[in-house]
Structures are given as C-alpha cells and as structure tokens.
Amino acid sequence: MTEFRADLLNGIALAYAGDAVYEVFVRDYLLRQGITKPGELQKNAVKFVSAKAQAYLISEMIKDAVLTDEELVYFKRGRNAHSKTTAKNTDVVTYRISTGFEAVFGFNHLTQKNERVHELAEYCIQKVSEQNI
C-alpha cells in the first residue's frame, strides 16, 4: 500500500473533501441554533455554503490575514483548478474562488489538522452570522 499524500492532490480533489467537511460544521451549527425543519435548514445553509458566501469568506480570511502561507497555496491550487462542472447559480470566477475556499478545508482535513479546521469553520460561521449574508 502506498502512502497517502494530501499535498499531491489536485485542487478539485481537495475541494471535494473540503466541501463535505465545511458542510458538516454548518449543519451542526444550524441544528444547535434550534433550526430543524428541512426547508429552513436548507435556506439557512445556503447563507454559509453557497459559492457567493464562500467567495466572501475567503476574501475576508485573506483581508484579516487568517490563512497561513501554506493555506494560501492550497487556496490558489483550488481556485486555479480546471473543473468539468459548471457554476449553477453564480459566475465562473466566484465558483472558482469558492473551490479554492473548499480546497483549504480539504487540505487541512486530509492532513489531520483538525484544530485548524475547527478554527477556520468557527471564523466562517461567525463572519456569516455577523454579516447575515
């Protein structure tokens, strides 16, 4: 069996993992807020997980110097990756930026930087809660 190397994964693969990881944090948060109806959960989740929200969040992370130099590398890897899927409800640039956002979560998760994943998720949830996107 070969050694798993998350640092060698392409941006799309990292984003694939990161999308799921971040989504779990958002779902946990919404349920802890007492939101239990499926329609309300979906409506509120979009505020956190849409491409627009993720693009906003990564720009805030960069502005606030939240990301490490290493995380910026993986953000760019995700942002610059060529995906065969297309954006559903947003423009291509926003979609690619959100892929970079997800790649950061994916990289940290796959390299078992769990505390860092928690820090970033908490930062994002707080930002969205404050802005009420």
Annotated catalytic residues are 19
Render the burial of 61-93: b for 16+ CB within 10 Å, e for the rest. beeeebbeeebeebbebbbebeeeeeeeebeee
Query: Contact, 54 vs 62, CB < 8 A?
Result: no
